[in-house]
Structure 1
Amino acid sequence: MSLQIAFIGYGEVGQLFARQLATKADVRVSVYDILFDDPIRGRELKQRASDDKVHAADSVADACATADIVISAVTADSAIMAARQAAPHLKPRQTYIDLNSVSPATKRDVADQVRQGGAAFIEFAVMAPVSGVGIEVPILSGGATAETTSVRLNKLGMKITPVSSEIGTASATKLCRSIVIKGMEALMVDFTLAAEKAGVMPAVLASLTVSYPGMDWDHIAKAMMSRVKQHGVRRAAEMREASRMIAEFGLDGSLAAAIAERHESFARSGSEPSST
C-alpha cells in the first residue's frame, strides 16, 4: 500500500523532507505553503515542487484531502494557525505531526485543534540542523501513536525515537537544548562584533582556546554568526517559545527572551558575518 504524506509549510525543512521522501517507493508527497498564493514567489515554489516530483496543493484542504500523514513544518509562531486551518479537513484515519520548535503548551494547543475531528496527533522535536542530513536528522517523537508512526517513517530512512506517550516531553527536550545552542549563537554575535571593534579578536580566541582546548573557537564564531544572520528570525520565534516554557515552569524566562531579540535584531540588521 502506498503512503501519502502532506506537508504544510514548504520552507527549508519542508522542501528537504518532501524532496527526499518523494524518492521513496510507494510514497506520494503533497505540499502547501501560504506563499503559493504569492504571484512571484508562489510560482517559484511550485516549480521547485514540480522539479522534485512533489504535488503542489492549491490549499490546506487539498493537501490534507488524501494524506495519511500531515506534517506541519511552518514557523514556531504559525504552528497553532496552521493547525486551525488544517483541523476542519482532518479525519480519524489521519495523523497530524507538528515538528515545529514550540513549547509543550503550544504543542498541546495544536493537539487540541487537530483532535477535534478525531485525527491522531504526534509531536516531533528535531534535535539537530537538517541541512545536509535531511530526513536522517535525529528526531524525538511523542504521543499515543508515536511509536507505531515512528516505526513506519523510520522504514523510509528517518531517525525517529519515541520518548513518551504524553505530549510535551519531546518538545521540552528540544527547547532546553535550544537554550544552550541559540544562547551560544547570540553570544558569538556580540563577542565577534565587540572583539573586532576593539581589535582584540586574536587575543580573545587564543585565550578561549587555552581555557577550552577541544573547541575551534574561530570556526564556531564564524559558523554561528552565519547561522544567526540566515535563520535568526525563525530562531527568535523558537526562543520565544522557550521563554514561554520556562515561565510555565514558574522560572524566569527573560534570558531566553533576550536571546530571541538578539537573533532577530542581528538577522534584520545590515551587519554581515566577518570573513576574517
Structure 2
Amino acid sequence: DLNSCAPSTKQKNAALINEAGGRYVDVAVMATITPKYHQTAMLVAGDHAEAAIDLMLALDMKPVHVPGPVGRASTIKMIRSVLVKGIEALTAECFSAASIAGVADEVAASLDASQTRDGWKDQAAYNMERMTTHGIRRAAEMREVAITLADLNIAGRMTAGTIDWQDEFGNLGLSLLDTEGLEPRLSAIRGALDAKKIS
C-alpha cells in the first residue's frame, strides 16, 4: 500500500487484507516520483516487508526496510510531512505577503543572510531553546505579524499556529541554555508541559 495516509488507516487496511488471505505491506514514498521514477526512495514495513523488498529489488527499485509493524513507514512519512508541508505553507504565507507589500526581494535576501548550515537535529534543538527563552515575546511579535497579514488581506493560518506554539513554550518558565541536544531539550519540554497539566 503506497498511499499517503495515517498509520492507523494502514493498520485497518492490513487487517482486512490479511484476513482475506493477502499479504499487506506498508510502503511510504519519500520523495517525488520524478526524476527517479521506480527508484524513488521508499520505506517498507510490516510482517511481509522482506518478501516485498525481494520483489522490489528484482524490479531495480530502491526499498529501505523499516523494522516494525505496519504503520511504521507511514509514521515516518506523516511526521516528516509536518515539517516539509508546513515549511511550504509558511513560505506561501510569507512570500504572498512580501509580494503584495513589495518587499519580496528584501525578505529573501535577509533569509539568505541568516541561513544556517546546521543539520536538522541541531537546528531543531536551537529552535526549542529559542522558543522556551523568547516564546512570550515572539508570540507578541507574531500577533503583530497577524495584524500585518490581515492588513494585506492574507489569511495568517500558519501564523496563528506559530502564535500558539510560541506562547505555549514561552509560558513554561523553562531555561534550556544548560541542556544540550535535541532529545534532552524535548524531554525537558515534555516534563514541563506535563507538570503544567497536573497543576
**If the TM-score is normalised by the length of the shorter chain, which range does it land in?**
0.5 to 0.7
Contact kept, 8 Å, 1:122 with 1:145, in 2: the verdict is: yes
Distance 1:213 1:203 in 2: 18
Q: Counterpart in 2 of 1:184?
A: 87
Alignment pair present for 1:161 and 2:80 = no
Distance 1:148 1:111 in 2: 16
5 Å-filtered alignment, 1:52-71, equals none
User: TM-score, normalising length from structure 2?
Assistant: 0.57
**Corresponding position of 2:43:** 140
Larger-gyration structure (1/2): 2
Q: Percent identity?
A: 35
Deviation, structure 1 residue 165: 4.0
* Offset, 1:213: 6.2
Among 18, 23, 44, the alignment partner of 1:120 is 23
- Unaligned runs of 5+ residues in structure 1 are 1-97, 215-253, 259-276
CA distance in 1, matches of 2:63, 2:28: 9
Structure 1 counterpart of 2:34, from 100, 125, 131 = 131
1:77-226 aligned at under 5 Å gives the runs 98-212=1-115
SS, match of residue 16 in structure 2? helix
Aligned pair count? 120
- Provide the TM-score with structure 1 as the length reference: 0.41
Q: Normalized per residue, which structure has more helix? A: 2
Deviations 1:195-250 (A, max 9, x none): 00000011101100000066xxxxxxxxxxxxxxxxxxxxxxxxxxxxxxxxxxxx
What CA RMSD, in Å, does the superposition of the two structures yield over aligned residues?
1.9
Distance 1:186 1:163 in 2: 29
The residue matched to 1:130 in structure 2 has which SS? coil
Aligned residue identity for 2:24: F
After TM superposition, which residue ranges in structure 1, 4 or more long, deviate above 2 angstroms? none
Judge conservation of contact 1:146–1:165 (CA < 8 Å) in 2.
Answer: no
1:194, distance to aligned residue in structure 2 (A): 0.4
Determine the C-alpha separation between the residues in 2 that align with 1:181 and 1:116. 35
Question: Which protein has the bigger strand share?
Answer: 1
**Structure 2: gaps spanning 5 or more residues:** 118-156, 162-199
Q: In the alignment, residue 101 of structure 2 is paired with which amino acid?
A: A
Distance of aligned partners of 1:161 and 1:213 in 2 relative to their CA distance in 1, 3 Å threshold: closer
Q: Which has the higher contact order (CA 8 A, sep 6+)?
A: 2
Q: Relative to 1, partners in 2 of residues 1:192 and 1:99: Cα closer, same or farther, differing over 3 Å?
A: same
